[in-house]
């Protein structure tokens, strides 16, 4: 279905993801909703275990066949619900319309296959041409991520961590996807290489006009590369708005806690302001607001089912909290 003026490029509605065994059910994603406009970047921010990767894998429909399910929700790409199309139709979407950069390049690449062949394989699945055409495209992609095309014949173990990640980026972008899912693409890299890889992703995104969902823990990365931000906690989005709204007027106590944990070079402080407690067990989530056991503003009402609902803040973004007036006043 073609995109219309009133249809967002990507729309996720009430998405729920569960992982299950005979003994328990893990509620990884709990009613997540957001939109992504063409050519923009959404930052998914939150602690480990907040459901960010599960959201991305759901969009690409690569959750495990056994032990995982999506009990409800819609994922619409240009109006088409990806959860309702066949696996054959979805294979045409992966790589061509949607691609993903995975966290760990060490496990994302086949160790016994030449890196160039791994890029060419993706191209052959989605584009028409000869083997020479596919090889030429793979060489072009290597050059695009600043790897000499002569290294086409080498294997992953002959590359550094940063260069492996560049190969993964080349694979993801080989067919000019419309949507790029970048799942913490610099986690396994040192700081210098992180900056190079992020700069490369940003340049390629701008050159190709690709929309992007960027999963990260780093607010500095969000500030540099994202247009909108979704702050996730325990599988839910607790605050959602433009980058300027979230950075200038953080409203949810969890978001404020995240910003408070960032070192301020202009203030002489002995200790960082950590958020007390730990994220909840996703197999036994608290009733009501999942953040209430750690929240300094929490009341008995916060533990009630259905009491805490999304509200619009004074500057127009969304916050899932019933105490925003107290939060904004700084009262506890």
Residue 4 has pLDDT above 50, yes or no: no
Give the Cα separation of 15 and 69 in Å (integer): 11
In this structure, the strands spanning 10-20 and 25-36 are: antiparallel
Residue 235's pLDDT band (boundaries 50, 70, 90)? very high
For the ranges 1-5, 185-189, 287-291, 304-308, the one whose mean pLDDT is highest: 287-291
Task: State the average pLDDT over residues 163-180.
Answer: 88
When the pLDDT of each residue in the chain is averaged and rounded to a whole number, the result is 88
Is residue 331's pLDDT more than 50? no
- Domain ranges, ordered by start, for the chain: 251-265+272-329
Angle, helices 191-208/161-173, rounded to nearest 10 degrees: 10
Q: For residue 92, which of 130, 53, 132, 122 has the smallest C-alpha distance?
A: 122
Per residue in 260-290, pLDDT (tens digit) is 877 777 777 677 777 888 889 999 999 999 9
Strand bridging mode 10-20 / 68-77: antiparallel
Q: Which among 131, 201, 198 has a CA at the least distance from the CA of 170?
A: 201
In this model, does residue 193 exceed pLDDT 80?
no
Whole-angstrom distance, CA of residue 131 vs CA of residue 110: 20
CA distance readout (Å), 106 to 82, 221, 229: 29, 22, 28
pLDDT at 57 exceeding the cut of 90: yes
Position 1 scores a pLDDT of: 42
Sign (positive/negative) of CA torsion 40, 211, 182, 18?
Answer: positive
- State residue 220's pLDDT score: 85
For the stretch 268-292, what's the b/e string if a residue is b when 16 or more beta carbons lie within 10 angstroms of its beta carbon? eeeeeeebeeebbebeebeebbbbb
Provide mean pLDDT across the span 5-23: 89
The phi-psi region of residue 39 (left if phi > 0; otherwise alpha if psi is between -120 and 50; otherwise beta) is: left
The Cβ of residue 330 has, within 10 Å, a number of other Cβ atoms equal to 7
pLDDT digits (tens, 9 = 90+) for 108-141: 899 999 999 999 999 998 888 999 999 999 999 9
Range with lowest mean pLDDT among 191-195, 238-242, 248-252, 319-323: 191-195
DSSP state, 94? B
DSSP 149: G
Return the DSSP state at 280.
P
pLDDT at 219 over 60: yes
Q: b/e for 71-107, b at 16 or more Cβ within 10 A?
A: eebebbbbebebeeeeeeebeebbbbbbbbbbbbbee
pLDDT > 50? residue 98? yes
Per-residue confidence (pLDDT) for residue 188, from 0 to 100: 65
Sign of the Cα pseudo-torsion (251, 320, 58, 53, in order): positive
Q: Nearest Cα to 124, choosing from 112, 136, 115?
A: 136
CA torsion angle 89 211 208 141 (round to 10): -60
């Amino acid at each position: 279905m073609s995109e219309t003026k009133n249809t967002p490029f990507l729309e996720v509605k009430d998405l729920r993801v569960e992982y299950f065994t005979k003994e328990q059910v893990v509620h990884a994603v709990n009613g997540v909703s957001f939109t992504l406009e063409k050519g923009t970047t959404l930052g998914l921010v939150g602690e480990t275990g907040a459901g960010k990767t599960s959201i991305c894998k759901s969009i690409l429909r690569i959750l495990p066949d056994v032990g995982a399910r999506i009990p409800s929700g819609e994922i619409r790409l240009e109006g088409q619900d990806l959860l309702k199309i066949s696996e054959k139709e979805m294979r045409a979407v992966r790589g061509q319309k949607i691609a993903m950069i995975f966290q760990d390049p060490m496990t994302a690449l086949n160790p016994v296959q030449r890196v160039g062949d791994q890029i060419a394989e993706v191209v052959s699945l989605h584009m028409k041409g000869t083997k020479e055409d596919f090889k030429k495209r793979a060489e072009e992609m290597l050059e695009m991520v600043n790897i000499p095309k002569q290294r086409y014949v080498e294997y992953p173990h002959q590359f550094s961590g940063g260069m492996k990640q560049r190969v993964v980026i080349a694979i993801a972008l080989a067919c000019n996807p419309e949507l790029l899912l970048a799942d913490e693409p610099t986690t396994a890299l040192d700081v210098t290489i992180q900056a190079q890889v992020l700069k490369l992703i940003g340049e390629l995104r701008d050159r190709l006009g690709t929309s992007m969902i960027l999963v990260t823990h780093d607010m500095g990365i969000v500030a540099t590369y994202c247009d909108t931000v979704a702050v996730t906690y325990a599988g839910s989005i607790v605050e959602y708005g433009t980058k300027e709204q979230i950075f200038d007027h953080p409203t949810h106590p969890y978001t404020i806690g995240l910003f408070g944990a960032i070192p301020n070079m202009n203030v002489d402080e002995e200790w960082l302001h950590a958020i007390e407690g730990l994220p909840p067990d996703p197999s036994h989530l608290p009733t009501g607001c999942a953040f209430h056991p750690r929240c300094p503003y929490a009341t008995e009402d916060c533990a009630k089912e259905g009491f805490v609902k999304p509200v619009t803040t004074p500057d127009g973004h969304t916050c899932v909290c019933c105490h925003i007036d107290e939060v904004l006043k700084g009262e506890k």
